[in-house]
Structure 1
Amino acid sequence: MKNPKSSNQFKHRFFGNFAVKALLFTITLLFTIVLLNHSTTGVSIVPQSLRPDIKVRNIINTLSVSPSVRIVKDPRNNTLYYLKRNGEIYQVNLASSTRTLVYNSSNHNISETQGMAIGPNGTIYLVGNADLVNNQTQAIIVKGVINSSTRQRIWSILAKSAAYPKSKTAYDHRFNGVVVSLDGKFIYVNSGSRTDHGEVQSVNGLYPNTREVGLTACILRLPSNSNNLFLANNRATLKTAGYIFAEGTRNTFDMAFAPNGDLFGTENGPDRDMSEELNWLRLGGNYGFSLAYWWDRQSTTISQL
């Protein structure tokens, strides 16, 4: 028979150890919650202006489940809008520090948006992407034109791309940045790379030996008055149609025109120790991605690998 005293001692040790472990677990959990809460809320750090003639003030907090991806200004009246990834568009009232939801995916029919711009006549342009079967994606570009009679915004498709393969990595940049020419006649749309630095991304053999494709790593120029354009996944076809403005851009996530009409774009560099770029984008230019070069010391020439 078991010794009752020995059994009781075992129970005391067991429950004593359990209580200590439970206490340590509770303390660890509470400490983790405090750290997570601190990292989420943090200390409010206010940006400081370095010029006495520029003042900084907090207008509004756009934090929500869907991240904010763009902030744009209507050139007609300087009204600010911001875009959520889920397609929601908010108008900002600077005087009252409030916002108003003005459009969402039920209006423009894009549920995943990454780009937004407003033309000189008030037309809103949105750039989005849709996931398709076989790990493919499709770009969708829409415009919201103000009806001169009703003053209501009418949404329509400006362009759609053919399906093209994703890489199933963090480097699927897809279509995102968009800017309108100063005269409002064209929109310039960035299509980011599907690779980090031009490496093969076959999606476990689904797309053998595939690096970039016809629709990736380029900037397209499309007439703003277009309707239902089809963007083929073929670089030669896109060039023949006059849609390719520049090539060799890894991911020009944002672009802007200078007052004289020069177009500039910010370039997100690869996931290694390389500099970001600010490019002066010109028609027909090739900005190097994803070409590799080596210096031939014998002939002092640059050779393309």
Structure 2
Amino acid sequence: MIQEVIEIGRRIYQLDHWKECHRFLVFVVRALLHAGDMRAFLAFFHENEARQTILKKNGFQAEQLTRAFFYAGSTFRERLVLIENHILFEERSFTTEWFIRLNIDQGYPIWQAKDEGPVWCAALKLAPGQRKEGLLSILMMLEDVELYQMMFWFNKNRSGEYALYIGAMQGPNVDHARDLVKDVTKRAHRYRTKNLILYMTQAVARVVGVTRIYAVSNQGYYAMNHLRSDRKLKTDFGAFWEEAGGHVTDDPRFYELPLTERRKTMEEIPTRKRAVYRKRFAFQDDVDMQIAESIKKIFRK
């Protein structure tokens, strides 16, 4: 086991940097301290050729196992079960080709805006830079700018049913972010971009067949880097999840979110705004259709 752990560590970390050398050593020590679970992890990935390919070309799942990622208070054993369940869900849901490709940082396009503006699209993608919060993400792009990411994983809930768990949501990190978001909000008929990335996540959940969506709360976030130095929130996950119709579960680290966004009826909408809402609803329907059609192409029959 130790030799394989070392080999994985060498692939993950850039050992010509001293900080990366330190991370490598911590990775190896943690693996040894939890040798039984690490052996189980390696055995799981060696059960078939597809998983072996993922571990050989990626390996970051091994790092996720040894670090306190995904949600606050996650244990080594819980992360092992989480990773295995996610892999098993993808393996049974997607074709072998895309099961592998989605786990080695190759994106799969699921949507593109049909208007004539700059290319605005979204893809399913493993985002290595966001591996602290998930095992897969929906990445929304405007040309070459990353607008929004929704990081998530698939795991079984307390009832033993597969669910989609949102680890975090991240907005644009560029100087002109506000202007970009304002522009795409107009293109979406005044539908906020962060609501759209959640809408896409709900659409993906429905297509792959899960019936529950959970999201990490402020209390459940794995780290405190969403707090400012004065301890005030930079990002209030809870407020957004509640605005989206979510509620805190028995475990305060998680919200449960609706599988489908509630739409206002025309009677609830002021007359002067109905034309905009009709265009918005048509836009959302197209998002649903494109996501369903694209994912079904890589879904196991």
TM-score for the superposition, normalised by structure 2: 0.33
Larger Rg: 1
Higher RCO (C-alpha under 8 Å, 6+ residues apart): 2
The structure with more strand, counted as a fraction of residues: 1
